[in-house]
Amino acid sequence: GDRIVGFSYPRKATVSTTVARKLSMRNSVVPQSEKPSTGDSRILVFVRLRPMAKREKEGGSRCCVRIVNRRDLYLTEFATEHDYLRLKRVRGRHFTFDASFSDSTTQQEVYSITTAELVEAVLQGRNGSVFCYGATGAGKTYTMLGTVENPGVMVLAIKDLFNKI
């Protein structure tokens, strides 16, 4: 049957994918066109869609997430043939984040939009924190640590810090 991949069905605006949070700072190094809308919030929430694994594709899983734009995504709950209560309806939920990243977004892009500004603020004596939250297998470790070829947010932040001191 059909399986929902990458998300547990949320009740509020939280999802089980990689979500990074950071304190909001001014004087961004991110181009204005890519800068998330911060409003008055000191906490920003980002979501990153991971690619489906080969075994998920081969097992007949379908992607249930569509990124609408740089901030919004749409989650579809698929019904199976044996789910008679939901068979004739497709249920969807809309979520808005400070920024959303597709499965093709590079580690550098994620770092630039979510964390580079925070590194600058830390160097000016401010406090900051970045963390990932999500289900097992959602991509938290990859986003934070990455690989030798594609270093993650934490590695890029440390490199940036040492290059600037």
Residue 140 marked as a ligand binder: yes
DSSP code at position 49: P
According to the model, what pLDDT value does residue 62 have? 86
The CATH-assigned architecture of domain 4-164 is 3-Layer(aba) Sandwich (3.40)
Residue 116 marked as a ligand binder: no
pTM attached to this predicted model = 0.69
Q: By C-alpha distance, which of 62, 156, 67, 61 is closest to 106?
A: 156
- Domain spans of the chain? 4-164
According to the model, what pLDDT value does residue 76 have? 87
| Separation between Cα atoms, residue 38 and residue 110, nearest integer Å | 16
According to the model, what pLDDT value does residue 19 have? 37
- Residue entry with tokens 């939280």: 14
- Write out the two tokens for 150: 């594609």
According to the model, what pLDDT value does residue 50 have? 92
Contact assessment for residue 90 and residue 75, using Cβ atoms and an 8 Å cutoff: no
According to the model, what pLDDT value does residue 32 have? 45
Residue 76 marked as a ligand binder: no
3-state secondary structure of 68: coil
According to the model, what pLDDT value does residue 88 have? 63
Residue 139 marked as a ligand binder: yes
Task: Give how far the C-alpha of residue 75 lies from the chain's centroid of Cα atoms, to the nearest Å.
Answer: 14
pLDDT tens sequence for the chain (165 residues): 433 333 333 333 433 333 333 333 333 333 444 455 555 568 999 999 999 999 999 998 888 899 999 999 999 887 666 766 666 666 788 999 999 999 999 999 999 999 999 999 999 999 999 999 999 989 999 999 999 999 999 999 999 999 998
